[in-house]
């Protein structure tokens, strides 16, 4: 608590007019009388400069123009309160006379029903038993410091989850002093704070303070990666850490001298399974992966809303002894980055050989090579380990069709390449040919026709299936089809739902609503097998399924 005998110091956190800041300077300012506080505001919009007045620097700010001066006597200036004061203020209501009868309005009556209730203080008392409380949220409660040693442990020793986001706590040392008194603490949210680096001494309060902590949130705290690495060394069972919105441009281990000196404490980590870097400015894929090498147990990595523009190949191949620093990764979120080239995902299995779930939505994929309409099929075909893409499960049927389509696309767009050239350009070429068979090479005439039709109207052939639909993948020659085949011209942007109705009209069929619901369609694949078009994807367009000029379609209408 700030008093005349205990004045504020550099690093003290304050709140004024609803804005939170950190004291970076205390003293006189040229050209004015009295003492001033130089404040770096958490919200830069409150600032007026970066600590410079009349060409003289008084303090520095991490964010440009986030500083200003404030009088220590400014009306409404607050230095916050203690942990227990904030806790009791939020969770404990002063007990009234237990014999008093109170009127209560029933919430479901919209204020129209009022009843008398006796003994509400007993209920309040039960709710205010802080020694049994498990989850506590003191975000925006102006917590600034701990209470007398032992008082927090005595009052609320059972806390498992604690939210101290957007507080006035000035340092990691103070966080540790509070956490030391919460022996069962497992989840800690510290978002939107500005902490001084912990003291790294033999008697640091960090030692033992976080012995049971499993989840840590440090979003929007401007915590550097080096600071994060040092801090988590004091958390021996930590499994999840969030460092989103921290303006991280890289994960290099550089920083101020006192932080740099702490690198001697760094060591490999076996416990962390999930890291969230959402909303930073990370760009270089390779350096990012290398920086994560010490996290040997990492399984989930969130890189959404960063600036990654390419997935570069590893520095050397597996045959040269390369082992990916993130080879244990199972889940990766790359949503809303800047990756453009689908061929980058040929490198992906080398970095992440065990990934089963991937998110790439929000990237400008396919802009290079005009392949944007085939993004899902191509990624599925390029990454054999994937089971989920953009939160949608990849069924065995979809994987098979995507891989077959990818093979047919390769021979159509690179018809003159030899086997070795294809293998280098498409690493899964040989593997997929072994699984599905090598597709037929297109003639020069059909290739020229494909190039001229491009994204305009193209011609497809449709035939009606005259028998019960097959339950397994079947060759088109093994089923009974109607004659003659019908041809029609369609746009690649047409939805499957509209396409199905167009086929019915082209075949001059009269169908009921019940029959329409039971209709099914198959594509004739390059190897002449039938690939089912799933009804669940009615809103997807023809291009999504790889339907293009010359495609053959089989339609079944139930009787």
How many Å apart are CA 220 and CA 279, to the nearest integer?
A: 9
Percent of the chain clearing pLDDT 70 (strictly above): 86
Residue 543: per-residue pLDDT: 76
Residue 446: per-residue pLDDT: 52
Which has more pLDDT, 149 or 558? 149
Which residues fall within 8 angstroms of residue 341, CB to CB, at 6 or more apart? 310, 365, 368, 369
Which has more pLDDT, 75 or 506? 75
Residue 442: per-residue pLDDT: 65
Residue 452: per-residue pLDDT: 46
A 10 A CB-CB count for 156 gives 23
- Cβ contact 289:348 at 8 Å: no
Residue 454: per-residue pLDDT: 44
- Cβ contact 224:255 at 8 Å: yes
A 10 A CB-CB count for 28 gives 11
pLDDT tens figures, 306-333: 999 999 999 876 556 678 999 999 999 9
pLDDT category at 14 given cuts 50, 70, 90 is very high
Residue 189: per-residue pLDDT: 97
DSSP 472: S
Residue 4 has pLDDT above 60, yes or no: no
Radius of gyration of the chain (CA): 32
The model's pTM:
0.75
Instruction: Please count the CA atoms within 13 angstroms of the CA of 357 that sit on its side-chain side.
Output: 11
- Cβ contact 138:167 at 8 Å: yes
How many Å apart are CA 36 and CA 522, to the nearest integer?
A: 77
A 10 A CB-CB count for 221 gives 22
Q: Three-state SS for 43?
A: coil
Residue 127: per-residue pLDDT: 47
How many Å apart are CA 523 and CA 545, to the nearest integer?
A: 9
Mean pLDDT calculated for residue range 77-93: 90
Mean pLDDT calculated for residue range 495-511: 81
Q: Comparing C-alpha atoms, which of 231, 90, 216 is closest to residue 165?
A: 216
pLDDT tens figures, 407-447: 988 888 777 677 788 888 899 999 999 998 888 776 655 55
Place of tokens 């690939």: 531
Mean pLDDT calculated for residue range 20-46: 92
DSSP 197: P
Dihedral of CA atoms 529, 530, 531, 533 in degrees, nearest 10, equals: 170
pLDDT category at 214 given cuts 50, 70, 90 is very high
pLDDT category at 203 given cuts 50, 70, 90 is confident
pLDDT tens figures, 265-304: 678 899 999 999 999 999 999 999 999 999 999 999 999 9
End-to-end C-alpha distance for the chain, whole angstroms: 83
pLDDT category at 192 given cuts 50, 70, 90 is very high
CA distances to 227, 362, 473 from 260, in Å: 9, 37, 61
Residue 124 has pLDDT above 90, yes or no: no
A 10 A CB-CB count for 354 gives 13
And the tokens for 35? Answer: 């003492």
- Cβ contact 465:555 at 8 Å: yes
Q: Comparing C-alpha atoms, which of 250, 246, 188 is closest to residue 219?
A: 246
Judging by DSSP bridges, how do beta strands 187-189 and 161-163 pair with one another?
parallel
Residue 134 has pLDDT above 60, yes or no: yes
Q: Three-state SS for 221?
A: coil
How many Å apart are CA 42 and CA 191, to the nearest integer?
A: 12
How many Å apart are CA 296 and CA 325, to the nearest integer?
A: 8
Residue 257 has pLDDT above 80, yes or no: no
Residue 191: per-residue pLDDT: 97
Cβ-count burial of 5 within 10 angstroms (0-12 exposed, 13-18 middle, 19+ buried)?
exposed
Which has more pLDDT, 438 or 40? 40
How many Å apart are CA 520 and CA 533, to the nearest integer?
A: 7
- Cβ contact 304:279 at 8 Å: yes
How many Å apart are CA 285 and CA 274, to the nearest integer?
A: 18
pLDDT tens figures, 344-385: 999 999 999 999 999 999 999 977 666 777 889 999 999 999
And the tokens for 516? Answer: 């329409």
Q: DSSP for 342-383, please give it.
A: GGGGGTHHHH-TT--EEE-TTS-TTTTTT-GGGHHHHHHHH-
Residue 216: per-residue pLDDT: 98
Residue 111 has pLDDT above 70, yes or no: no
Q: Comparing C-alpha atoms, which of 125, 85, 112, 117 is closest to residue 100?
A: 117
- Cβ contact 247:282 at 8 Å: no
Residue 520 has pLDDT above 80, yes or no: yes
How many Å apart are CA 169 and CA 288, to the nearest integer?
A: 31
Residue 475: per-residue pLDDT: 81
How many Å apart are CA 419 and CA 426, to the nearest integer?
A: 10
Range of 46-55, 173-182, 363-372 with top mean pLDDT: 173-182
Place of tokens 């002063």: 94
Which has more pLDDT, 451 or 506? 506
Residue 289: per-residue pLDDT: 96
Which structural domains are found in the chain, ordered by start?
13-70 (2.30.30.190), 454-556 (3.10.20.90)
**Backbone CA torsion sign across 202, 205, 210, 211:** positive
Mean pLDDT of the chain: 85
How many Å apart are CA 26 and CA 37, to the nearest integer?
A: 5
Residue 5: per-residue pLDDT: 45
pLDDT tens figures, 383-393: 999 999 999 99
Q: Comparing C-alpha atoms, which of 276, 346, 275 is closest to residue 310?
A: 346
Residue 468: per-residue pLDDT: 78
Q: DSSP for 454-468, please give it.
A: TTS-EEEEEEEB-SP
Residue 386: per-residue pLDDT: 97
Cβ-count burial of 339 within 10 angstroms (0-12 exposed, 13-18 middle, 19+ buried)?
buried
Residue 499 has pLDDT above 50, yes or no: yes
- Cβ contact 439:408 at 8 Å: yes
pLDDT tens figures, 466-494: 887 777 777 878 888 887 888 888 877 78
And the tokens for 38? Answer: 């130089």
Percent of the chain clearing pLDDT 90 (strictly above): 52
Q: ∠ CA(115), CA(133), CA(232), 5° rounding?
A: 145
């Amino acid at each position: 608590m700030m008093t005349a005998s205990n004045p504020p110091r550099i690093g003290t956190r304050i709140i004024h007019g609803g804005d939170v800041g950190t004291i970076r300077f205390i003293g006189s300012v040229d050209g004015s009388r009295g003492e001033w506080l130089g404040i770096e505001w958490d919200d830069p919009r409150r600032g007026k400069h970066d600590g410079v007045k009349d060409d003289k620097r008084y303090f520095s700010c991490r964010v440009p123009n986030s500083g200003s001066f404030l009088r220590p006597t400014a009306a409404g200036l607050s230095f916050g309160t203690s942990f227990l004061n904030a806790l009791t203020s939020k969770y404990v209501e002063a007990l009234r006379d237990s014999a008093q009868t109170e009127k209560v309005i029933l919430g479901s009556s919209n204020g129209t029903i009022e009843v008398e209730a006796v003994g509400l203080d007993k209920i309040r008392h039960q709710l205010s038993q802080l020694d049994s409380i498990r989850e506590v949220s003191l975000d925006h409660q102006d917590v600034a410091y701990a209470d007398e040693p032992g008082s927090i442990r005595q009052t609320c020793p059972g806390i498992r989850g604690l939210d101290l986001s957007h507080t006035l706590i000035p340092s990691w040392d103070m966080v540790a002093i509070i956490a030391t008194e919460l022996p069962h603490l497992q989840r800690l949210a510290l978002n939107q704070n500005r902490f001084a680096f912990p003291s790294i001494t033999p008697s640091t309060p960090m030692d033992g303070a976080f012995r049971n902590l499993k989840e840590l949130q440090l979003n929007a705290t401007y915590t550097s990666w080096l600071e994060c690495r040092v801090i988590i060394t004091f958390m021996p069972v930590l499994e999840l850490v969030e460092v989103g919105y921290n303006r991280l441009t890289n994960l290099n281990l550089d920083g101020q001298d006192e932080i740099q000196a702490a690198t001697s404490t760094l060591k490999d980590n076996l416990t962390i399974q999930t890291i969230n870097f959402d909303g930073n400015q990370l760009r270089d894929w390779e350096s990012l992966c290398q920086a994560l090498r010490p996290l040997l147990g990492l399984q989930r990595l969130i890189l959404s809303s960063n600036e990654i523009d390419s997935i570069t190949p590893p520095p050397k191949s597996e045959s040269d002894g390369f082992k990916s620093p993130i080879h244990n990764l199972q889940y990766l979120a790359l949503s809303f980055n800047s990756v453009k080239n689908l061929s980058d995902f040929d490198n992906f299995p080398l970095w992440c050989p065990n990934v089963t779930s991937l998110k790439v939505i929000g990237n400008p994929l396919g802009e290079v090579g005009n392949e944007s309409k085939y993004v899902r099929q191509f990624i599925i075909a390029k990454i054999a380990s994937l089971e989920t893409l953009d939160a949608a499960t990849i069924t065995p049927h979809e994987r098979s069709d995507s891989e077959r389509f990818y093979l047919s696309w390769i021979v159509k767009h690179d018809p003159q390449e030899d086997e070795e050239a294809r293998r280098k350009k498409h690493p899964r070429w040989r593997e997929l040919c072994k699984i599905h068979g090598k597709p037929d090479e297109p003639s020069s005439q059909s290739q020229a026709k494909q190039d001229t039709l491009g994204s305009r109207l193209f011609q497809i052939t449709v035939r009606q299936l005259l028998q019960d639909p097959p339950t397994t993948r079947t060759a088109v020659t093994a089923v009974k089809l109607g004659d003659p085949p019908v041809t029609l011209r369609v746009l690649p942007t047409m939805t499957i739902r509209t396409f199905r109705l167009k086929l019915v009209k082209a075949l001059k069929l009269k169908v009921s609503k019940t029959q329409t619901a039971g209709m099914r369609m198959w594509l004739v694949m390059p190897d002449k097998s039938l690939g089912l078009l799933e009804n669940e994807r009615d809103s997807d367009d023809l291009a999504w399924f790889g339907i293009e000029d010359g495609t053959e379609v089989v339609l079944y209408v139930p009787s």
